[in-house]
């Protein structure tokens, strides 16, 4: 039976009801993985998700620019919360699906604006986060799916202008190398690029600063769906819902929906 998992940096879950309502009305989604929920657990709009048909919720909330959540139509069991930044920020949730597969929802720090850890501590924290996550990843033995806002666009075709963005946080060589080291540590399969291989361009984020995001199309692929090698054959497809960037009250990210036969 097909299982559809959507990942979305929602950029504030309490203001995205129109977006979430339209998303689940337009696509038969079974599990929603959200990042940057920007609210404490007690403030999470659980009633909205129940109304949309997602009664099973696991929430790791936090105000400001953090927080992750998983909403499911079927029962899920929480199995972990990692603190790879070692500062208490809510950036990871893991649940076990009815099939037994573990689903990881991750929100990697953005890293600030200056790609120099000496001048910008946030960039150093991002690299430390990725290094600790890589150590964790190398120890994983269970087949798993990993989704989320990894805040790095790894390929030249994952950004609107490779040369122009080489010194821009999210596409610098040091970040790209760190993400590839993380991916290789478990042999994670980048499913979006399996179904939409380079050199086709593929973006999941467009800045709010653009007057016309569609016309300028200055995007980056920051949101990812990975799986363990043992699960690669179960992946049926990945859809990047570009049109959602133009919906009412959009996030600057769009949903990425992966379909599996588990």
Over the stretch 10-30, which tens digit does the pLDDT of each residue have?
Answer: 999 999 999 999 999 999 999
pLDDT value of residue 63? 79
Q: Point out which residues pair with 78 in neighbouring strands.
A: 95
C-alpha 168/C-alpha 11 separation (Å) is: 21
Would you say 219 and 159 are in contact if contact means Cβ atoms under 8 Å apart? yes
Q: What is the pLDDT along the chain (262 residues), one digit of tens a residue?
A: 799 999 999 999 999 999 999 999 999 999 999 999 999 999 999 999 999 999 999 999 987 779 999 999 999 999 999 999 889 999 999 999 999 999 999 999 999 999 999 999 999 999 999 999 999 999 999 999 999 999 999 999 999 999 999 999 999 999 999 999 999 999 999 999 999 999 999 999 999 998 899 999 999 999 999 999 999 999 999 999 999 999 999 999 999 999 999 9
- Measured CA distances, 118 to 101, 115, 124 (Å): 40, 9, 8
Neighbours of 233 (CB within 10 A): 11
- Measured CA distances, 190 to 41, 47, 111 (Å): 31, 33, 22
Q: What is the CA radius of gyration of the chain?
A: 17
pTM above 0.85, yes or no: yes
Domain 2-261: give its CATH code.
3.60.10.10
């Amino acid at each position: 039976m097909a299982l559809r998992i959507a990942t979305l940096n929602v950029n504030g879950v309490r203001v995205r009801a129109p977006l979430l309502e339209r998303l689940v009305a337009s696509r038969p989604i079974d599990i929603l993985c959200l990042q940057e929920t920007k609210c404490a657990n007690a403030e999470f709009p659980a009633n909205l998700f129940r109304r949309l048909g997602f009664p099973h919720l696991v929430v790791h909330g936090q105000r400001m620019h953090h927080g992750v959540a998983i909403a499911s139509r079927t029962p899920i069991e929480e199995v972990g919360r990692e603190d790879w930044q070692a500062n208490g920020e809510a950036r990871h949730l893991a649940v076990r699906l009815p099939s037994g597969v573990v689903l990881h929802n991750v929100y990697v720090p953005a890293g600030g604006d200056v790609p120099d850890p000496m001048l910008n501590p946030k960039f150093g924290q991002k690299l430390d986060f990725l290094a600790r996550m890589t150590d964790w990843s190398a120890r994983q033995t269970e087949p798993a799916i990993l989704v989320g806002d990894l805040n790095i666009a790894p390929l030249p075709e994952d950004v609107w202008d490779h040369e122009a963005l080489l010194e821009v946080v999210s596409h610098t060589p040091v970040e790209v190398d760190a993400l590839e080291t993380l991916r290789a540590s478990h042999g994670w399969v980048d499913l979006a690029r399996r179904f939409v291989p380079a050199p086709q361009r593929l973006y999941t984020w467009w800045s709010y600063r653009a007057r016309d995001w569609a016309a300028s199309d200055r995007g980056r692929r920051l949101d990812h769906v990975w799986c363990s090698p043992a699960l690669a054959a179960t992946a049926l497809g990945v859809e990047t819902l570009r049109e959602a960037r133009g919906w009412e009250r959009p996030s600057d990210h769009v949903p990425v929906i992966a379909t599996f036969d588990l």
